[in-house]
């Protein structure tokens, strides 16, 4: 089978960084057309620089990186340094990136790439959906060239930034509304799934034992990220964003079902919540495939195997 054309939209973030490494290590499966960065876990200047640092770490200078939107569509910006640290990828200790981002804005790149493609493109979204939503608003016709959107965001149950809302959706719920209403095949990977994929000490030790610079960076990031999550949730680092790439590589590791998902935009306690109509109470047409379970052992086995494919310069 030919490699799947893929664009990754992200806001690195330690878990975004691991997701990028997983994708970079899967060149046979993905024709990675570009990485677009958006403000989210940390401001845009950090997220786009972090994406370029991770590109260097993976030895993939062929993949262009584009800086995108520095703020949400409507609401005020919200970041998460309290979880990810001031740099967003604290623990990785990576040098300055070797080259600058591309001159084009990420939204323009998305529109141009999706307008010109001869083969539908998959979008893997790991942060707030601002870039993707504005590309759809700018040229709705691009939706016809999207094979599918696989997004890390939302939750069927409780949130992580408010009692009701998950960070990526809450950071720009108006953008999420645009994307969920776009009529594009959409898979939602929410907290219900990602909190099943925890980087436990034995799983981290298996990665550390690879003895490579990428493995050391992953473990350094997840050690710190895990400490923050233990403080907040009493367990180690959940692999939120890597679940997106893992699903594209091995969907059999996951289980889910189609349902209607609406994004709450009204002021109040539920602002930014993904309202998942599990039992079809509203009678509205389904608009998302919502994942509910993951084979965590299978996920970490694949992650470790893929990380072993990256440059093997010893630390």
Q: Which residues are catalytic?
A: 240
Which pairing describes strands 121-125 and 198-199: parallel, antiparallel, or unpaired? unpaired
Contacts of 234 (CB under 8 A, 6+ apart): none
Interatomic CA distance for residues 16 and 152, integer angstroms: 10
β-bridge mates for residue 274, sequence order = 263
DSSP reduced 3-state for 110:
helix
Using DSSP, state whether 40 is helix, strand or coil.
Answer: coil
Strand partners, 8: 35, 124
CB contact at 8 A, 12 and 89: yes
Angstrom distance (rounded) from CA 96 to CA 111: 29
Counting beta carbons within 10 angstroms of the beta carbon of residue 232, is it exposed (0 to 12), middle (13 to 18) or buried (19 or more)?
exposed
CB 91 within 8 A of CB 220: yes
- Residue position matching structure tokens 């939503």: 133
Query: Nearest-CA neighbor of 89 among 32, 40, 135?
Result: 40
CA-nearest of 105, 107, 268, 75 to 177 is 75
Backbone angles phi, psi at 20, to 5 degrees: -65, -45
């Amino acid at each position: 089978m030919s490699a799947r054309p893929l664009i990754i939209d992200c806001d690195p973030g330690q878990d975004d960084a691991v997701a990028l490494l997983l994708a970079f290590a899967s060149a046979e499966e993905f024709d990675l057309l570009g990485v677009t960065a958006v403000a989210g876990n940390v401001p845009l200047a950090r997220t786009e620089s972090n994406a370029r640092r991770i590109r260097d770490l993976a030895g993939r200078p062929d993949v262009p990186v584009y800086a995108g939107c520095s703020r949400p569509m409507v609401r005020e910006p919200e970041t998460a340094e309290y979880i990810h640290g001031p740099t967003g990828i604290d623990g990785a200790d990576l040098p300055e990136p070797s080259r600058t981002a591309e001159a084009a804005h990420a939204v323009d790149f998305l529109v141009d790439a999706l307008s010109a493609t001869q083969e539908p493109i998959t979008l893997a979204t790991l942060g707030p959906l601002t870039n993707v939503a504005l590309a759809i608003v700018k040229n709705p016709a691009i939706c016809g060239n999207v094979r599918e959107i696989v997004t890390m965001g939302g939750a069927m149950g409780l949130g992580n930034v408010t009692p009701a809302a998950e960070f990526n959706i809450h950071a720009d719920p108006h953008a999420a509304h645009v994307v969920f209403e776009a009529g594009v095949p959409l898979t939602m990977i929410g907290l219900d799934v990602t909190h099943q994929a925890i980087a436990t000490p034995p799983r981290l030790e298996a990665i550390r034992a690879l003895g490579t610079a990428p493995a050391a960076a992953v473990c350094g990031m997840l050690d710190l990220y895990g400490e923050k999550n233990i403080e907040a949730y009493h367990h180690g680092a959940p692999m939120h964003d890597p679940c997106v790439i893992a699903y594209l590589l091995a969907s059999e590791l996951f289980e889910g079902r189609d349902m209607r998902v609406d994004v709450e935009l009204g002021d109040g306690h539920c602002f930014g919540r993904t309202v998942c109509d599990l039992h079809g109470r509203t009678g509205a047409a389904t608009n998302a495939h919502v994942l509910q379970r993951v084979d965590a052992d299978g996920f970490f086995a694949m992650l470790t195997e893929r990380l072993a494919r990256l440059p093997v310069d010893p630390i």
